[in-house]
Amino acid sequence: MLNMICPECGRQGQVVRDLTVESLVKEDNIREVAGKGSFYLCRESDCSVVYYNGERVYGTQALKVPVWFKEGAGEDSPICYCAGITRREIRDAVASGRKTRAEIRNYTGKSRRSNCIRKNPAGRCCDQEFDEEIIRCRRMLNQDL
Ligand SMILES: [Zn+2]
């Protein structure tokens, strides 16, 4: 159980497949990752570690993409990594009256060929985060929920 704890913040991580890590770390780290089995993902926003296993630690700087839930990811961080839909685009769509994921996807005109395991840093579908982001935007824009 020891390596489930993030070496930086000491909090518990989530299992992600090496395929996800391998797809998202910058080129010079790929060989270290391939075939290493599972990694853990640190979900704490104030911790700069993204992936770790007993041997290796990859922080936000080691990745090709911003990680939406990490501090400093900003408005241009994707929420849907498969289609490349950012926080800013979700906010703009919500501000113009779109309320559902389908409406927002439509509004952005970005089609999705899902490949969450290779594109999303969490290695899974973004539906839940997408919905949370819509609610966050609607609150920010003082829309009735
Ligand atoms: Zn951490």
Candidate from 34-43, 45-54, 59-68, 77-86 with smallest mean pLDDT: 34-43
Cα 5 to ligand 1 centre (Å):
8
pTM for this predicted structure = 0.90
Q: Which string of DSSP letters, residue by residue, matches 45-85?
A: TT--EEEE-SS-EEEGGGBSS--TTSTT--TTSEEETTTTE
Quote the ligand 1 centre to 102 CA distance (angstroms).
Answer: 33
Domain ranges of the chain: 2-62, 78-140
Q: Pick one of 3.10.620.30, 1.10.10.1100, 1.10.730.10, 1.20.1560.10 as the CATH number of 78-140.
A: 1.10.10.1100
Q: 2-62 maps to which CATH number?
A: 2.20.25.270
Is the predicted pLDDT of residue 1 greater than 50, yes or no? no
* Distance from the alpha carbon of residue 130 to the mean position of ligand 1, in angstroms: 23
- Using the mean position of ligand 1's atoms as its centre, give its distance from the Cα of residue 40 in Å: 10
Over residues 68-104, the pLDDT tens digits come to 999 999 999 999 999 999 999 999 999 999 999 999 9
Which tokens hold the place of 15?
A: 């299992």
